[in-house]
Amino acid sequence: MAEPLSASEIEAKIIEAVADQLGIAKEEVTRDSEFDKICDSLDKAELMMEFEDLFEISITDEAATKLATVADAVSYVERALKGA
């Protein structure tokens, strides 16, 4: 059985996915980056789908609207993986 990802590993994967999706440097994305300030609603929806694929989890539309920052996404993924 694979060892669960640590919070820092989850954060690194999310930051990389955000940077790749938006075509920006990873250094420009932090835990405090707000999705509404760095991307439009279509990009955010695509990011949520990317997170679902990347971590093999499900993110409901309701949950996605509450994920305002990268830190929020990290916390959500951590909880989802523990519940899986």
Query: Which one of 20, 36, 40, 53 is the catalytic residue?
Result: 40
End-to-end CA distance of the chain: 13
DSSP helix/strand/coil, 41: helix
To the query of whether residue 61 is one of the catalytic residues in this protein, the response is no
Alpha-helix runs per DSSP H in the chain: 7-22, 35-38, 41-55, 61-66, 70-83
Distances (CA, A) of 58 to 42, 76, 84: 18, 10, 10
Active-site annotation, residues: 40
